[in-house]
Chains A and B, each alone.
Chain A
Amino acid sequence: MRIDVTGLTKTYKGGVRALDDLTLTIPTGMYGLLGANGAGKTTLLRILAGLLHPTEGRVVIGGHDVTTQEGKPAVQRKLGYLPQNLGVYPDLTARAFLDYIALLKGLHNRSGRRRRVTELLEVVALTDAADRRLKGFSGGMLRRVGIAQALLADPELLIVDEPTTGLDPEERIRFRTLLSRLAGDRTVLLSTHIVDDVAQTCRTLAVLANGRLAFQGSVTDLVSVANGRVWTVTTNGPPPTEGRVVSALPEAAGMRYRVVSRQSPDLSAKPAEPTLEDGYLALMDQVPV
């Protein structure tokens, strides 16, 4: 399902301009939305999900304008949404919570709904905990309940907002793999401030900075932004002052610094292969604040 965002601007009541004239096209498949905290990712996703009205601009999802009275439910029927800080009713069991959301999503057939809930509990590996109250669930388990509820109506568009924050490494990897598996012929929009999440799952992405589009394209294109701008410097002295230090690793010969910089930061600096993180940092250095 294709998403066309045109001239999207959102100014909150306090005067914060969270999105500024954003124009963006999101194709089918797994798509990354990368940006620092406060870049405007959540604001964009909430508008896409029909939870928030933009100040200006148009959002057409699968042919429906989500900002209109008729378009919103049409989009929401095809939408699965996992909010950034998902909450649940602590007094319901996982199964009852999913049943409730399924009803709200229009799965009225009782046996079909039950089958779907059971199936999804299986998909997110919560079958054993299905009939326990949600108040005892760990953060990772709740996130999985969250993804299960998003999948209930077999959505063509899946929006997940920072789903891996706060998960331990194993859970994170499991969650990422699950998302990639789900992509297939639907659109999965993954927002994150963790570069690695995008690097491991998406081929195309957009980068938001201060509510504006800083980049739109393939992962390899973003990596190549840092071409010729990544260096390693090994020294016993002070860290390089030129450019941005990405990492510092102690070695026998001294500290090895990885630096993103337009010019060579030091006479002894050696050029290095850029990664997605380098590309992202190089891009951020170009973005006007």
Chain B
Amino acid sequence: MIATLRYEFLMQIRRPSLWIVYGLVFALLLITMPFWSLDMGLPLEGGTARQDMTTAAMILITLLPVVYGCMLADRPGRDRLLHVDGVLDATPTSGTARLLGKWAGVCLATAVPFAIAYFGRAVLWAVTEGDPAALGWAVVTFLAMIVPGLLFLGALAFAGSLVMPSIMFRVVFVAYWFWGNLIPPNTMPTLAHTIFSATGDYVRWGLLHPLPSGMVAYGEATLDVLRPAHSPATAWLWIAVMIALAAVLLSVVRLHALRRES
């Protein structure tokens, strides 16, 4: 598992297109979002390291997962496409270990530019505000609010590779991202802002930056059953849901591979 993790990580992180595409989208974020301005353009009561780090995460999470999903898309089917699968399958390392290693390695590598952008912002904040606490909050926020969603999205790409070619997955994924995560839920039925959405809203509002009591994020919408109130408990629930979904998707991928052997 570690061997596959290591080599899949290496192959992915050395891909020039990974850095180019992330760079372009990040540039777009800089131009259109207040990410880089030191007060982040948000007049929330803000100003504390904890709140600003949460806001910074929220801003990145609007668009960077699109790059993340698209850059991951071709990885699951790559061994077969390159005809390396025969050699790999003939080794005594189990298919399950290799699948987990590949998933972890590829997710990790594809999250590196994301992490660089985020922690870069945190360092800048810590320096200009003279408050190193930002770095600690950045770590917590990244792990709690961003990573669970990325693990789930990674598994989604693996499952997607079972049913469609990577090019098509990218198109579907971009559509899914905007429909299932970003659009306000009162415009149409959507998974956005539910406990199944990958944006980390629940950790943001439930754990890191609680909304003033009585304030709700959105008005009435369909599928509100999937939108329990923000609280620390639902924040942890969201993390558990993301990990459980990833586990289910990866199991499906593994079972599918076992069936192909027969």
Binding site for B on A (CB under 8 A): 46, 49-53, 73, 76-77, 79, 81, 83, 85-92, 96, 100-101, 103-106, 146, 149
Please give, as numbers and ranges, the residues of chain B lying within 8 Å of A89 by CB-CB distance: 11, 82, 84
Q: Does B3 contact A (CB under 8 A)?
A: yes
Stretch at the interface among B86-94, B122-130, B190-198, B227-235: B86-94
Residues of B close to A104: CB separation below 8 A: 3-4, 88, 91-93, 98
- A91 lies within 8 A of B11 (CB): yes
Decide: A87 and B82 in contact? CB cutoff 8 A. yes
A81 touching B261 in the complex, CB below 8 Å, given contacts A90-B82, A104-B4: no
Q: Interface of B with A (CB < 8 Å)?
A: 3-4, 7, 10-11, 14-15, 82-84, 86-94, 98, 261-262
Residue pair B93, A53 in contact (C-beta under 8 Å): no
> Once bound together, how far apart are the Cα atoms of A101 and B98, in whole Å?
12
The residue in B87, B98, B261 that gathers the most chain A C-beta atoms within 10 A of its C-beta is B87
* Closest chain B residue to A74, Cβ basis: B92
* Given known A89-B82, A89-B84, A92-B11, contact A73–B90 (CB-CB < 8 A): no
Chain B residues within an 8 Å CB radius of A92:
7, 11
Q: Is the CB of A73 within 8 A of B261?
A: no
Chain A residues whose C-beta falls within 8 Å of the C-beta of B87 in the assembled complex: 81, 83, 86, 101, 146, 149
Query: Could you count the A-B residue pairs with CB atoms below 8 Å apart for me: how many are there?
Result: 69
B91 and A53 form a contact (CB under 8 A):
no
Closest approach, in angstroms, between the C-beta of B2 and any C-beta of chain A? Answer: 8
Contact partners of B4 in chain A: CB under 8 A: 104
Closest approach, in angstroms, between the C-beta of B94 and any C-beta of chain A?
7
Q: Are A106 and B93 closer than 8 Å at their CB atoms?
A: yes
Shortest B216–chain A CB gap in Å is 49
Cα distance A50–B258 in the bound complex, in angstroms: 12
Q: Which residues of B contact A46 (CB under 8 A)?
A: 86
What are 9 A-to-B residue pairs whose CB atoms are below 8 Å?
Answer: A51-B90, A73-B92, A76-B92, A83-B87, A91-B14, A100-B3, A100-B7, A104-B91, A105-B91
Known: A87-B84, A100-B7. A76 touches B90 (CB 8 A): yes
User: CB-nearest residue of chain A relative to B15?
Assistant: A91
Which of A81, A87, A92, A146: most chain B Cβ within 10 A?
A: A87
Assess whether B261 is in contact with A53, with CB atoms less than 8 Å apart: yes
The smallest beta-carbon distance between B106 and chain A, in angstroms, is 13
Most buried by A among B7, B11, B94: B7
Tell me the nearest residue of chain B to A50, going by C-beta. B90
- The interface residues of chain A lying within 8 Å CB-to-CB of B15 are 91
Collect the chain B residues with CB atoms within 8 Å of residue A103's CB: 3
Assess the A106–B90 pair: CB atoms within 8 A. Answer: no
CB closest chain-B residue, reference A152: B91
The closest CB in chain B to the CB of A75 belongs to B92
Instruction: Identify B83's interface contact among A50, A51, A86, CB under 8 A.
Output: A86
A77:B86 contact, CB within 8 angstroms: no
CA distance A237 to B92 in the complex (A): 61
CB-nearest residue of chain A to B83: A87
